[in-house]
Amino acid sequence: MADVSITRIYVLRDPRDGEVRYVGKTAYPLNIRRSCHISHAIVGKKRTHCAAWLRSLHALGLVPLIEQIDSATEEWAACEQKWISYYQAAGARLTNHTRGGEGVPGFKQSAETIKKRAIKHSKTMSAVASTPEGRAELASHFASTMASPTWRAWQSERVKAHNATPEWKAANAAYWNEESRMIAAERARVQWTPERRAAIKETWKRKMQAQKDQQIG
């Protein structure tokens, strides 16, 4: 669990030239914070200058560099503002849309708020998926997202961070006893028939060929 008493002040840099493009704060590990930035920009299509910049990197198959430049406790807001002012004075093309100091690092929304947002998101997705055009748009969006190096890198980083937590390691060790391994092996034997394996292999071959044809075209 993150130590919310210490706030990390960080910058996002352009991987092509190292230019600082964003100054932020977080109570969580930097790799997780960067993953959130990428997720909000690419998957959530957040409408901010920073998100637009991240999408431009995504289009090139790039991800931003993240670097901690300072840390603070109660005075984190002033610290963030200080660094934003510093880089702005140095001529950096920051994508921050405020002078900093907003929000609460490490803040978690209540279960009720999360539920309301999930219901709203579900209704929106259902409305989009109610037409053939909407379903085609969603399918195209998810296919292009999951095929991108940026999304794959973000997903890999997110899974590694989750699997490295003491809580997950303890739960995993407790679950995988001899009995559970035998059950999992039997389930896999029943589900992964030769026909299913062949069908999945053929599907991936067609997808890879389609991507190659698209690149050539």
pLDDT tens digits for range 150-208: 667 767 877 888 888 888 888 888 888 888 888 888 888 888 888 888 888 888 888 88
Q: Do 24 and 72 fall within a single domain?
A: yes
174 assigned to some structural domain: no
What value does the mean pLDDT take over residues 111-136? 76
- HEC per residue, the chain: CCCCCCEEEEEEECCCCCCEEEEEEECCCHHHHHHHHHHHHHHCCCCCHHHHHHHHHHHCCCCCEEEEEEEECCCHHHHHHHHHHHHHHCCCCCCCCCCCCCCCCCCCCCHHHHHHHHHHHHHHHHHHCCCHHHHHHHHHHHHHHHHCHHHHHHHHHHHHHHHCCHHHHHHHHHHCCHHHHHHHHHHHHHHCCHHHHHHHHHHHHHHHHHHHHHHHC
For residue 26, the enclosing domain spans 7-161
Q: Do 145 and 195 fall within a single domain?
A: no
Q: Do 106 and 212 fall within a single domain?
A: no
Residue 102 confidence (pLDDT)? 60
Structural domains counted in the chain: 2
Q: Do 99 and 14 fall within a single domain?
A: yes
Q: Do 141 and 184 fall within a single domain?
A: no
Q: Is the dihedral of CA 194, 195, 197, 198 positive or negative?
A: positive
**Between residues 78 and 212, the one the model is more confident about:** 78
Q: Do 122 and 206 fall within a single domain?
A: no
**Environment class of 204 (CB within 10 Å of its CB; exposed 0-12, middle 13-18, buried 19+):** exposed
What crossing angle do the helices spanning 149-163 and 132-147 adopt, rounded to 10°?
70
> Nearest to residue 63, comparing CAs of 146, 156, 149, 144?
149
What value does the mean pLDDT take over residues 10-16? 94
168 assigned to some structural domain: no
Q: Do 42 and 101 fall within a single domain?
A: yes
Q: How confident is the model at residue 120 (pLDDT cuts 50, 70, 90)?
A: confident
Residue 1 has pLDDT above 50, yes or no: no
Residue 74 contacts by C-beta under 8 Å, 6 or more apart in sequence? none
Residue 27 has pLDDT above 70, yes or no: yes
Residue 164 confidence (pLDDT)? 84
Residue 106 has pLDDT above 60, yes or no: no
pLDDT digits (tens, 9 = 90+) for 133-159: 878 877 776 776 677 676 677 678 778
Computed over its alpha carbons, how large is the radius of gyration of the chain?
A: 22
